[in-house]
Structure 1
Amino acid sequence: MSRFGRTDLPEEQAVAMRKAVRIEIFTICYTTVTIGVVALVLGNSQAMKTAWVEDILSLTPQVAFLVALIFVRRRPTKAHPFGLHRAMSVGHLVAGVALFVVGTTLAWEAISGFLRGDHPTIGTVVLFGSSVWLGWVMIAVMAVIAIGPPFYGRYKLKLAKPLHNKLLYADADMAKADWQTNAASIVGVLGIGVGLWWLDAAAALFISVGIIWDGLRNMKTATLGLLDKRAATYDEKSVHPLIAEVASTLRALPWVADAAVRMRDLGQVFHVEAFVVPTDPRTPVEAYEAASRAVAELDWKVEDVEVIPVSVLPVEADRGVPDDGEPHADGSDDADATGAARGGGGR
């Protein structure tokens, strides 16, 4: 409640966000240059063409991140009472769909070329007065541009965690694996050079499958978030520990008999619905307001908190404590938590 509609960030996250914006702008510039350079040496290699298209597609999450920030920073209005934080998830979904659609098209082209028995050829160019096989130029270009992505990919990963930004994490994860695309394109070019024409099609298919896989992963993560899946960590590896922390904080209040939480990820911040069973139904409103402030102060990501009095905890709400009493961190739905919710206010 005390933080409803907030669009500011704590100092640590504000610094991380400024760094994220700078590295995304740098990445866009770097990628734009590589797209232009690769376009000059494409030749007839299907693998090179596929790698080139992937470079173009890699701009999608970067641009989506920067555009989403414009909307995320806007305060709630009557038309959008929860703010526009989900713009980050929408950008994530758009990037995933683009990757999947184009990746599927590229995979079909690679398979079609293989079935037709296309035999691509690579000619020569004149460099510094000498005739040079264009394949060597292709290999040199792909080897050089492969240096950057793994480094700035790891840098983005470090920023994704404090920002709890899944779009930035997806972009970083894709960048880390970019060397595989470059390696595959080099294999395809070498295959043409030694007469193994099918290696080019195989390399193109390998790159296409990677694009499709990235698209599917991004689509799944973004869609589940938009469907109000239970809040998870930025890398989607576990249920977010803040759920258990909120529930335990509320249960520690002297006037609360039991508590459970429904927490959804709005893209970078959380909306929290906290259900509490009061020991006395006459508990004053001020106690609920204080509880809401206490929850909001747990973490900067808690953007909106509602503390709701109930006589029986909702079945769907999460108490954050399995049978052994320890906060759960995996992605499973604990039957014990459901049973406890059905059991009402007693602990």
Structure 2
Amino acid sequence: MRVRAPFVWPEDKAKLRRRAIVLEWATLGSMGTAVIVLYFVLGNSQAMRTAWIEDVLSLIPATAYLVASAVEQRKPTTRFPLGYYRAVSIAHLVGATAILVVGCYVLVESAAKLVEQEHPTIGLMSVFGCEVWGGWLMMAALFYSTVPPVILGRLKMPIAREIHDKPLLADAAIQKADWMTGTGAIVGIAGVGFGFWWADAVAALFISVDIVRDGVRHSMRAMGDLADRIPHTVRGDAVHPAIRVARDAAAGVDGVARADVKLREEGHLLTGIVYVELRSDAAVVDCVDRVRKAVEDSDWRLYDISVMPVRPGTI
């Protein structure tokens, strides 16, 4: 059985990938401390509970990413001759599902609190023997929990675009939800302090809508990639330009009359089949090799491309 040669990352992309892994470890460390801090000042605030649960679930995409990054580097074997590159796509689905679960939970809980008209109470807490209104401690903890997501999310975005890293983008999206939830919770707690009992639940409700939207969008993209949808860009839902580039590269090889491609995503990579109509005087084996090399050289993501000569008029 033919086993794929391991994919070799270009040095500049490999450097960005290593940086992404470092950022994910930083995410686990910073958000882990935020979870601990929030736990000790939870009280009975719905927005506070929402922020804490979301921070706990936000550890899932980073963990999935780190596991997938380790699995992806394994060499293809006779049992997995195509390698483990789809582990990254699975991590994308796991991260997207975490976003969706967070959003749905927040939406249902917040709506229930409004319907039941539950009035949250924020009492006094003892700090070094002094009685302090719990809302101040909650808001301080929430502010602390919003700082790392803002910084880490912004650092991850350009890397995700550069190395075609959808799970990293999904993680950046849930970190956006983290700081939005934290900010909304601060507003809600302040509202409770001013006597507006509904401010707490309304803040969490509005935040949940945006989280659910992100979760649905990323889940649909992740499932599409695993179902071999044609490659799309990391941000937005545009067809990946590598498809056109690969087609043009194949058509530009001497001896090729026409060319077409069918590509799919395997994590960071794009692979698939190139169909070529050869001119009558072309040497088949030599032309096929040149087409494969031209296509794989046209974009660093293109890997293990198969080339299939077809009869004239087929394309």
TM class, shorter-chain normalised?
over 0.9
Find out whether 1:60 has 2:31 as its counterpart: no
- 1:50/1:207 contact within 8 Å kept: no
Find out whether 1:275 has 2:266 as its counterpart: no
- State the alpha-carbon separation in 2 of the partners of residues 244 and 96 from structure 1: 28
Match of 1:339 in 2: none
3-state SS, counterpart of residue 261 of structure 1 = strand
- State the alpha-carbon separation in 2 of the partners of residues 52 and 294 from structure 1: 51
- State the alpha-carbon separation in 1 of the partners of residues 111 and 17 from structure 2: 42
- 2:31/2:148 contact within 8 Å kept: no
Match of 1:320 in 2: none
TM-score, normalised with respect to structure 1: 0.85
- State the alpha-carbon separation in 1 of the partners of residues 236 and 267 from structure 2: 13
Match of 1:47 in 2: 47
Instruction: Tell me the amino acid that sits aligned with residue 272 of structure 2.
Output: V
Match of 1:212 in 2: 212
Match of 2:130 in 1: 130
Deviation larger for 4-13 or 33-42: 4-13
- 1:114/1:201 contact within 8 Å kept: yes
- 2:153/2:172 contact within 8 Å kept: yes
Instruction: Tell me the amino acid that sits aligned with residue 194 of structure 1.
Output: F
- State the alpha-carbon separation in 2 of the partners of residues 113 and 211 from structure 1: 18
- State the alpha-carbon separation in 1 of the partners of residues 246 and 234 from structure 2: 18
Find out whether 1:145 has 2:159 as its counterpart: no
Match of 1:307 in 2: 307
- State the alpha-carbon separation in 2 of the partners of residues 118 and 242 from structure 1: 54
Instruction: Tell me the amino acid that sits aligned with residue 87 of structure 1.
Output: A
3-state SS, counterpart of residue 305 of structure 2 = strand
Q: 1:85 to 1:236 in 2, by over 3 A?
A: farther
Find out whether 1:19 has 2:19 as its counterpart: yes
Q: CA RMSD in A?
A: 1.9
Instruction: Tell me the amino acid that sits aligned with residue 260 of structure 2.
Output: A
Deviation larger for 290-299 or 262-271: 290-299
Find out whether 1:188 has 2:208 as its counterpart: no
Identity %: 38
- 2:278/2:284 contact within 8 Å kept: no
Deviation larger for 160-169 or 23-32: 160-169
- State the alpha-carbon separation in 2 of the partners of residues 231 and 305 from structure 1: 14
Match of 1:201 in 2: 201
- State the alpha-carbon separation in 2 of the partners of residues 89 and 271 from structure 1: 14
Q: CA deviation at 1:299?
A: 2.3
Instruction: Tell me the amino acid that sits aligned with residue 249 of structure 1.
Output: A
Alignment of 1:3-18 (within 5 A): 4-18=4-18
Deviation larger for 28-37 or 196-205: 196-205
| Number of residues of Structure 1 aligned to a counterpart in Structure 2 | 313
Match of 1:72 in 2: 72
Match of 1:295 in 2: 295
- State the alpha-carbon separation in 1 of the partners of residues 120 and 176 from structure 2: 30
Q: CA deviation at 1:102?
A: 4.2
Match of 2:93 in 1: 93
3-state SS, counterpart of residue 260 of structure 1 = strand
3-state SS, counterpart of residue 297 of structure 1 = helix
Q: CA deviation at 1:186?
A: 0.8
Instruction: Tell me the amino acid that sits aligned with residue 89 of structure 1.
Output: S
Structure (1 or 2) with the greater helix fraction: 2
- 1:4/1:305 contact within 8 Å kept: no
Q: 1:120 to 1:141 in 2, by over 3 A?
A: same
For structure 1, which runs of at least 5 residues remain unmatched after alignment?
313-342
CA deviations 1:71-92 (Å, max 9, x no partner) are 2112222322221111111111
CA deviations 1:189-220 (Å, max 9, x no partner) are 11211121111111222233333223212211
Match of 2:117 in 1: 117
Alignment of 1:157-172 (within 5 A): 157-172=157-172
